[in-house]
């Protein structure tokens, strides 16, 4: 409690705060730096790794898809090269070829047809009734008619199902014909559909106009703006696989890996949420944050405790020093008062000596014959005797003062407690008399001496007696001083008949700066200094008080027993 | 050197005290002289020797102890009685060690001082007697 009160002092508060903040700063700063450095390194290298992995993946699939398209194209070209127009125009024959292709490559080829340069289908093999269909208006026909080999974009066409066409143009005798085959969209879609990584990673294909060539997962298709951007970037260096990051309209960050397909006509796009792609980085961030939080908390608590404890210790040391200083000042004060008293006593001594001497001289003269008859002789003699008596009284007082002053030194020596008490009673009696206080003493005559500083013991006794006199100033009463010996302890008891100390104050009377005297009257240090001295001497001081009856101070001091003495001598 | 009446030198810096004491002492049939300081006391002793010196310990200039030392060096047979205040008990002890006859505390009771002077004079007389006897013995040897 006392220390906490001390810590309220602004000096200690700021000291504590500075220490607290310094410790926190010094411990947390390197931790933050290390965490940031490691995390940023980890993030870069991990992201590089993830990007490289995605690039690899996309490149592989690009090759896959390109290979697939090329292969289908080769199938058709081969057929167009080895077969003549009669064979191709024969629907039965075409059916057989389709069956062979389907059995070789799975249900990739849906149907086949041969179209003349007017766009009219001459022969058809497949599940749909598309014989005699006219394609001369169709987009794919216009393109297929200009290139020897052609792969169309995905479109719905006459059948109303998404599909695309692989075609080969051939100059047969009697005109140009186009052999076309429809590739099943589902089979093609699977090539891309299978690219799935994490929770949000998927791939799709768009043509140069940004139209989807495969069915992307409906959940999160990129919007036009992003697609256009990707396509534009893709066109710059078509042969390379590129990685970029873009934020969509809802604010989510995505990573895009793009590769061109089909001679830069299509684009394979892989999309994944950045957060998903780098989830491990995020996890590392979370762990680091957790460690940082726990670490910081630990540091804060520890630095608080350390600064608190250190400052408390400093405060206590300061307080002890303060008390010591006060004690030194008090002792010094007493010593200087003693010196002053000695000076005064000596100065008074001389005039008193002269007065007594002069009175003696008058008495001498009165012995002479001429005064013998004087009727006032007796009265004169009485007056002179009185002067002599009062002179002696002055002498006693000054001698007491001088003997008190003589002892103001703090050297440790053997102190006769009884003698000291008698002297102190002699000094205090005069003051006590004015307050109608009487001294009683019950001193044990065989009391052993105590090893202490005479001045300090004097100070303790005077303090307690002065307190008692102060307490009984108005009421009067008695102070009983008794000494006793119990084995190797000297016990001195000061019992007054004053008003007593209330219970609430009893526990605090030895606290420094505790006083019930009016401001300026008491420092509140007297008893705490007494306590300090007694404790220093290895003794104890106790107080018992009953309100209305009086207070008793009991001081226990270690006695010098003969045994101790021999021991000391042996040691010495 | 009077057989019945001791010659006493009083040394004290308090002239008022000294004068009254001198008057009282001469009234009691003692051959007295007074000196206001240690230095003056030594000068008077040089002029003519006193049997006994009563001296204050605390004096300005040459203090009682210094004067005592000088007296004991030059006139070892002269007895010295120290007057002290209570505060100079230490000085009194030192004086006793240096060979002072006794000490008294101020203010001094006149009768007490007289007794001390008589005692001291007694000692001086005994000392003188012994010396005289030795001198006579030495003379008879010679003759």
List all residues 6 or more positions away from B45 whose beta carbon is below 8 Å from its beta carbon. B9, B53, B71, B74, B75, B78
Spacing of C-alpha A447 from chain mean position: 61
Q: Do domains A83-188 and A195-277 have the same CATH topology?
A: yes
Give the CA distances from residue A124 to residues A153, A161, A416, A430, B129, in Å, rounded to whole numbers and listed in that order: 21, 17, 140, 146, 180
Nearest CA to A441 out of A481, A491, A483 is that of: A481
Residue-level pLDDT at A410: 54
Rounded mean pLDDT of A413-431?
85
Do B87 and A406 form a contact (C-beta atoms < 8 A)?
yes
**Cβ of residue B24 closer than 8 Å to a chain A Cβ:** yes
Question: What percentage of chain A has pLDDT greater than the value 90?
Answer: 8
How confident is the model over A465-477, as pLDDT tens digits? 888 888 888 888 8
Work out the average pLDDT over A404-412.
58
Q: How many residues does chain B have?
A: 143
Query: How far apart are alpha carbons B103 and B95 in whole angstroms?
Result: 8
Q: How confident is the model at residue A567 (pLDDT cuts 50, 70, 90)?
A: very low
Cβ contact (<8 Å) for B16 and A406?
Answer: no
| Buried-state track A481-518, b at ≥16 Cβ within 10 A, e below 16 | bbbeeeeebbbbbbbbbbbbbeeeeeeebbebeebeee
For residue A37, CA distances in Å to A278, A483, A549, B41 come to 18, 77, 77, 98
C-alpha span between A514 and A522 (Å, rounded) = 9
DSSP E strands: which ranges in A229-311? 242-247, 253-261, 266-273
pLDDT averaged over every residue in chain A: 81
What ipTM goes with this model?
0.78
| Interface contacts (A, B; CB < 8 Å) | 59
Per-residue confidence (pLDDT) for residue A329, from 0 to 100:
66
A501-533 pLDDT, tens digit each = 888 888 778 876 677 777 656 666 678 778 878
Mean local confidence (pLDDT), B26-46: 92
Best B86, B88, B104, B110 residue to mutate vs chain A (most A CBs within 10 Å): B86
What is residue A1's predicted lDDT score, i.e. its pLDDT? 43
pLDDT at B117: 93
B69 close contact with A: CB closer than 8 A: no
What pLDDT does A572 receive? 36
Contact criterion met (CB < 8 Å) for A360 and B16: no
What are the sequence ranges of the domains in chain A? 83-188, 195-277, 409-572
Task: Decide if A350 and B20 are in contact by the 8 Å CB cutoff.
Answer: no
Cα A91-A94-A95 angle, rounded to 5 deg: 85
Share of chain A above pLDDT 70, in %: 89
Of the residues B91, B107, B108, B110, the best mutation for testing chain A's interface (the one with the most A CB atoms within 10 Å of its CB) is: B107
Query: Is residue B40 predicted with pLDDT exceeding 90?
Result: yes
Give residues with Cβ within 8 angstroms of B5, minimum separation 6.
B29, B30, B31
Query: Hey, which residues does B83 pair with through a beta bridge?
Result: B56, B104
Average pLDDT over residues A375-394: 86
Q: A350, A358, A365, A404: which to substitute to probe chain B, counting the most B Cβ within 10 Å?
A: A350
Q: Give me the mean pLDDT over the A477-506 stretch.
A: 89
Q: Is B47 exposed, middle or buried (0-12, 13-18, 19+ CB in 10 A)?
A: exposed
What is the Cβ-side half-sphere exposure of residue A160, based on CA atoms within 13 angstroms?
2
**Mean pLDDT along residues A433-446:** 87
Mean pLDDT of A248-255: 80
Instruction: Please check the confidence at residue A568 and state whether its pLDDT lies above 70.
Output: no
Mean pLDDT of the A125-139 span: 79
The domain B7-142 is classified under which CATH number: 3.20.20.70, 3.40.50.2300, 3.40.109.10, 3.40.50.300?
Answer: 3.40.50.2300
Tokens of A16: 């504590």
For residue A167, the SS3 value is strand
Q: State yes or no: pLDDT of A176 exceeds 90.
A: no
* Residue B87 sits at the chain A interface (C-beta within 8 Å): yes
Q: Do A342 and B87 touch (CB under 8 A)?
A: yes
Q: Report helix angle A377-406 to A279-366, nearest 10.
A: 150
- Which residues from chain A sit within 8 angstroms of residue B21, using beta carbons? 357
How close A407 comes to chain B (CA, Å)? 11
Give A92's pLDDT tier (boundaries 50, 70, 90): confident
Two tokens, residue A412:
């440790």
C-alpha–C-alpha distance, residues A435 and A26, integer Å: 66
Q: Do B23 and A358 touch (CB under 8 A)?
A: no
In the block, tokens 């749909």 appear at: A128
pLDDT for B120 beyond 90: yes
User: Residue A571 has what pLDDT?
Assistant: 44
- What is the nearest CA distance from B85 to chain A, expressed in angstroms? 7
Asked if A454 and A494 touch (Cβ cutoff 8 Å), the reply is: no
Task: State the Cα torsion A138-A140-A145-A151 to the nearest 10°.
Answer: -170
Share of chain B above pLDDT 90, in %: 49
Locate A178 and state its tokens: 């186009």
For residues A375-379, give the mean pLDDT.
Answer: 83
Q: Is the dihedral of CA A495, A500, A504, A505 positive or negative?
A: negative
Question: What CATH number does the domain located at A409-572 have?
Answer: 3.30.565.10
Test A357 with B105 for CB contact under 8 angstroms: no
For B4-23, the pLDDT digits (tens) are 788 999 999 888 889 999 99
Q: CB of B93 within 8 Å of any CB in chain A?
A: no
Contacts of A316 (CB under 8 A, 6+ apart): A3, A6
Q: What is the 3-state secondary structure (H, E, C) of A44-111?
A: HHHHHHHHHHHHHHHHHHHHHHHHHHHHHHHHHHHHHHHCCHHHHHCHHHHHHHHHHHHHHHCCCEEE
CATH code given to domain A83-188: 3.30.450.20
- Residue B35 pLDDT class (50, 70, 90 cuts): very high
pLDDT of residue A490: 92
Reference A189, options A73, A76, A65; nearest CA is A65
- Give tens-digit pLDDT for A390-401: 888 887 777 766
Q: CB-based contacts of A239: which residues, under 8 Å, 6+ apart?
A: A260
Angstroms from A463 CA to nearest CA on chain B:
24
- Contact check, Cβ <8 Å, B86/A402: yes
User: Which is nearest to A467 in space by CA: A556, A543, A558?
Assistant: A543
Q: What number is the average pLDDT over the span A478-503?
A: 90
Question: A569 falls in which pLDDT band (50, 70, 90)?
Answer: very low
Of A353, A360, A406, the CB nearest to B106: A353
Cβ distance A111 to A124 under 8 Å? yes
Instruction: Please give the pLDDT value at position A481.
Output: 93
Summarize pLDDT for A192-225 with one digit per residue, the tens: 777 777 778 888 888 877 778 887 765 667 777 7
CATH 3.30.450 fits A195-277, yes or no: yes
Domain ranges of chain B: 7-142
Quick one: CA dihedral A507, A513, A517, A518, positive or negative? negative
pLDDT level of residue B143 (50, 70, 90 thresholds): low
Of A346, A356, A361, the CB nearest to B107: A356
Rounded mean pLDDT of A37-47?
Answer: 91
Q: What is the pLDDT of residue A458?
A: 83
User: Each residue of A256-312: pLDDT tens digit?
Assistant: 888 888 777 888 888 888 888 888 888 888 998 999 999 999 999 998 999 889 988
- Whether A13 shows a pLDDT value over 60: the answer reads yes
């Amino acid at each position: 409690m006392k220390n906490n009160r001390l810590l309220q002092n602004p000096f200690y508060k700021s000291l504590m705060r500075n220490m607290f903040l310094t410790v926190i700063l010094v411990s947390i700063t390197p931790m933050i730096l290390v965490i940031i450095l490691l995390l940023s390194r980890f993030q870069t290298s991990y992201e590089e790794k993830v990007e490289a992995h995605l690039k690899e993946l996309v490149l592989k699939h690009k090759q896959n898809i390109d290979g697939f398209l090329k292969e289908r194209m080769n199938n058709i070209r081969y057929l167009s090269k080895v077969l003549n127009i009669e064979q191709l125009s024969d629907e039965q024959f075409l059916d057989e070829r389709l069956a062979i292709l389907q059995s070789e490559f799975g249900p990739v080829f849906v149907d086949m047809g041969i179209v003349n340069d007017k766009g009219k289908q001459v022969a058809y093999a497949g599940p749909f009734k598309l014989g005699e269909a006219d394609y001369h208006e169709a987009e794919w026909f216009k393109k297929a008619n200009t290139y020897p080999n052609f792969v169309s974009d995905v479109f719905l066409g006459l059948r109303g199902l998404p599909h695309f066409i692989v075609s080969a143009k051939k100059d047969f005798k009697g005109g140009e014909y186009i052999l076309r085959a429809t590739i099943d969209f589902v089979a093609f879609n699977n090539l891309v559909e299978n690219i799935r990584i994490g929770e949000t990673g998927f791939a799709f294909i768009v043509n140069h106009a940004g139209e989807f060539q495969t069915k992307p997962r409906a959940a999160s298709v990129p919007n036009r703006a992003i697609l256009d951007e990707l396509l534009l970037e893709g066109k710059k260096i078509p042969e390379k696989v590129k990685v970029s990051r873009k934020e969509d309209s809802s604010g989510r960050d995505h990573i895009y890996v793009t590769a061109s397909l089909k001679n830069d006509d299509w684009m394979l796009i892989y999309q994944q949420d950045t957060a998903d792609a780098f989830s491990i980085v995020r996890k590392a961030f979370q762990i680091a944050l957790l460690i940082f939080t726990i670490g910081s908390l630990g540091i804060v608590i520890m630095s608080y405790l350390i600064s608190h404890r250190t400052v408390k210790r400093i405060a206590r040391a300061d307080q002890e020093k303060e008390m010591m200083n006060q004690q030194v000042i008090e002792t010094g004060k007493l010593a200087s008062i003693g010196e002053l008293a000695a000076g005064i006593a000596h100065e008074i001594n001389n005039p008193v000596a002269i007065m007594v001497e002069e009175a003696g001289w008058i008495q001498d003269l009165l012995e002479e014959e001429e005064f013998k008859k004087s009727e006032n002789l007796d009265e004169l003699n009485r007056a002179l005797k009185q002067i002599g008596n009062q002179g002696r009284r002055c002498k006693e007082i000054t001698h007491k003062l001088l003997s008190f002053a003589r002892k103001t030194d703090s050297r440790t020596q053997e102190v006769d407690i009884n003698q000291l008490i008698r002297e102190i009673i002699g000094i205090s009696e005069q003051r006590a008399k004015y307050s109608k206080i009487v001294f009683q003493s019950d001193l044990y005559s065989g009391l052993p001496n105590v090893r202490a500083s005479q001045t300090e013991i004097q100070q303790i006794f005077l303090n307690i007696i002065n307190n008692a006199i102060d307490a009984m100033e108005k009421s009067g009463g008695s102070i009983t001083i008794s000494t006793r010996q119990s084995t190797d302890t000297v016990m001195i008891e000061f019992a007054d008949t004053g008003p007593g100390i209330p219970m609430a104050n009893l526990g605090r009377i030895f606290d420094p700066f505790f006083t019930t005297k009016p401001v300026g009257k008491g420092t509140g240090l007297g008893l705490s200094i007494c306590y300090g001295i007694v404790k220093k001497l290895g003794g104890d001081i106790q107080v018992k008080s009953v309100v209305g009856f009086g207070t008793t101070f009991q001081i226990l001091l270690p006695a010098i027993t003969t045994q101790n003495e021999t021991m000391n001598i042996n040691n010495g | 050197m009077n057989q019945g009446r001791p010659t006493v030198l009083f040394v004290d810096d308090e002239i008022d005290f000294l004068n009254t004491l001198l008057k009282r002492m001469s009234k009691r049939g003692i051959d007295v002289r007074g000196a206001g300081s240690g230095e003056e006391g030594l000068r008077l002793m040089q002029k003519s020797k006193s049997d006994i010196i009563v001296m204050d310990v605390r004096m300005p200039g040459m203090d009682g102890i210094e004067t005592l030392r000088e007296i004991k060096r030059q006139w070892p047979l002269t007895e010295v009685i120290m007057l002290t205040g209570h505060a100079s008990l230490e000085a009194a002890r030192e004086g006793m060690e240096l060979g002072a006859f006794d000490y008294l505390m101020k203010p001094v009771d006149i009768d007490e001082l007289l007794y001390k002077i008589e005692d001291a004079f007694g000692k001086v007389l005994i000392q003188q007697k012994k010396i005289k006897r030795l001198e006579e013995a030495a003379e008879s040897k010679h003759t």
